Amino acid sequence: MSRYDVIIVGAGNAALCAAISAKEQGSRVLVLEKGPSEKRGGNSFFTDGAIRVGYGNFDAMRNFIELDEETTNKIDMPEYSPQDFYDDIMRVSKNQSKPELIQQLVTQSLPTIEWMKSHGVEFELNFANQSFEKEGRIQFWGGLPIKTVDKGIGLMRSLFNRCEELGIDVWYEAAASKILTENNGVTGIEVKTKEGTKTIDCQNVVLACGSFEADKKKRVEALGEEWGAALVRGTEFNTGDGIDMAALVGAQKFGQYDGCHAIGTDANAPRVGDFQKPGDIFKKHSYPYTVMVNVDGYRFVDEGADFRNYTYAKYGKEVLKQPKNMAYQVFDAKVRPIVREEYNLDEATVFEAATLEELALKIDIQKEQFLQTIEEYNAAVQDGEFNPSVKDGKGTTGITLPKSNWAQTISEGPFYAYPITCGITFAFGGIATTPNGEVLHKNGEKIQGLFAAGEMIGGIFYENYPGGSGLMSGSVFGKLAGKSAAIHATHAQAVK
């Protein structure tokens, strides 16, 4: 008899939510993690902890976020319903996301947060990155006010602690390499460990081992040649093993294989996520309040098209397309005080000068075109009140590439230039599942005993991504897949 009812592959957020959920149902659970214990937690460990929830109204958050009365009274919190969350995903994916999956994600988001809280995960409001103060009021914007305490580090610490409390076994340096099946049902899994390859009998496997962004060859094949030059923001271990293993047993590949989440990140960030430097400290996300220029001196996107939460994940690709795969974000003295905290870290690469001419000499840019671009942009900026808490409509007119919101002249020294390049977060392609995480065969039937969660599920994200959805997706589908696997295990035993 097998020692385990359910085996979870991976030890990121989706995997550990699946493990805890299966354990709650009474299953004996084993977690297999490819990395060593000091590199555990996957991409989830690297995150800012921002998590998108259809919370409804401010009152509903009080069940899982503690706030004192004085602060509460100062907060203006826009309502954000599951339907708003649904609409945001559908809008940014141009209606390509699979409706049943998104429906499940948005309706389960709030109950799943409450469930995580019951297992020791702590949440707080993201004052630093998702609100601005105006006339004594703290105004939130962009549907993403919630984060985990101590970012992804805190999230993963809480989940690992809970697994330990519940007696869930975790094997490190144990890379799942093959799913064993008989008659369209899982019978076991092969694992590469330091002692050699082992076979573990088990009829229920949850694949939660991420996407393939850390495998350069696969990245280039799926996304295009230029993606060889992208930095990998997170774990080195997400090399598409889960997708390969699932496909070998007939699973249907699904979702946008030529799409990914990628951002503008510090040009000097590590080539692949450094577990000694988590916390998402290299991103540079205050571009909506300024302009970005390439080394030829030209702008290349509407920096103010929407709130950062709805553009950052698609603008990395635009940075990658620029000469030398890089660009500069240019700020002047009036905007510098409101930029996000990552700009103030020691890790931030910055060039500073008293004038734009001097700045141009310090950076790698075509000076005359750069100065002309800024001059034309400044002339195109329209009057109006700058307000970063709303889409203020303060845009430009008369330039070919407009800026739709938050346009202010770049005119007060000192001036700052932050060099950025493209950092890939994860790829959108995955495998097909039901809304309960059951993996579908190419023939449309369920593969008995095989489940998936997190970045492995295809069909959720296309083209773009509303910030904070990756963690929520991992939590929702992790919890569901773990429960589905446990129920399947119980059912199989009852049948025996």
Ligand X SMILES: Cc1cc2nc3c(=O)[nH]c(=O)nc-3n(C[C@H](O)[C@H](O)[C@H](O)COP(=O)(O)OP(=O)(O)OC[C@H]3O[C@@H](n4cnc5c(N)ncnc54)[C@H](O)[C@@H]3O)c2cc1C
What is the binding site for ligand X (CB under 6 A)? 9-15, 32-35, 42-44, 46-51, 175-176, 208-210, 233-235, 237-238, 241, 280, 425-426, 454-455, 468-471, 474
| Residue among 407 and 476 whose Cβ is closer to ligand X | 476
| Residue among 193 and 409 whose Cβ is closer to ligand X | 193
CA nearest neighbour of 13 among 472, 474, 479, 453: 474
| Residue among 316 and 470 whose Cβ is closer to ligand X | 470
Number of Cβ atoms within 10 Å of the Cβ of 328: 24
Residues in the chain: 496
Cβ of residue 2: shortest distance to ligand X, in angstroms? 18
| Residue among 145 and 474 whose Cβ is closer to ligand X | 474
Cβ of residue 444: shortest distance to ligand X, in angstroms? 24
| Residue among 233 and 446 whose Cβ is closer to ligand X | 233
| Residue among 35 and 142 whose Cβ is closer to ligand X | 35
Do residues 419 and 349 make contact, with C-beta atoms less than 8 angstroms apart? yes
Beta bridge partners of 327: 420
Cβ of residue 134: shortest distance to ligand X, in angstroms? 25
Do residues 123 and 117 make contact, with C-beta atoms less than 8 angstroms apart? yes
SS3 content of the chain, % helix, strand, coil (to 5): 35, 25, 40
- Here the tokens at position 127 are 């004052």
State whether residue 138 is helix, strand or coil.
Answer: strand
| Residue among 190 and 358 whose Cβ is closer to ligand X | 190
Cβ of residue 205: shortest distance to ligand X, in angstroms? 11
Cβ of residue 167: shortest distance to ligand X, in angstroms? 20
Cβ of residue 340: shortest distance to ligand X, in angstroms? 13
Cβ of residue 136: shortest distance to ligand X, in angstroms? 28
Cβ of residue 402: shortest distance to ligand X, in angstroms? 29
Cβ of residue 426: shortest distance to ligand X, in angstroms? 6
Our CA angle for 54, 119, 280, nearest 5°, is 65
Cβ of residue 152: shortest distance to ligand X, in angstroms? 7
| Residue among 217 and 491 whose Cβ is closer to ligand X | 217
| Residue among 101 and 208 whose Cβ is closer to ligand X | 208
Cβ of residue 385: shortest distance to ligand X, in angstroms? 30
- Does residue 413 come out as left (phi exceeding 0), alpha (psi in the -120 to 50 range) or beta? beta
Cβ of residue 107: shortest distance to ligand X, in angstroms? 18
| Residue among 50 and 365 whose Cβ is closer to ligand X | 50
| Residue among 208 and 293 whose Cβ is closer to ligand X | 208
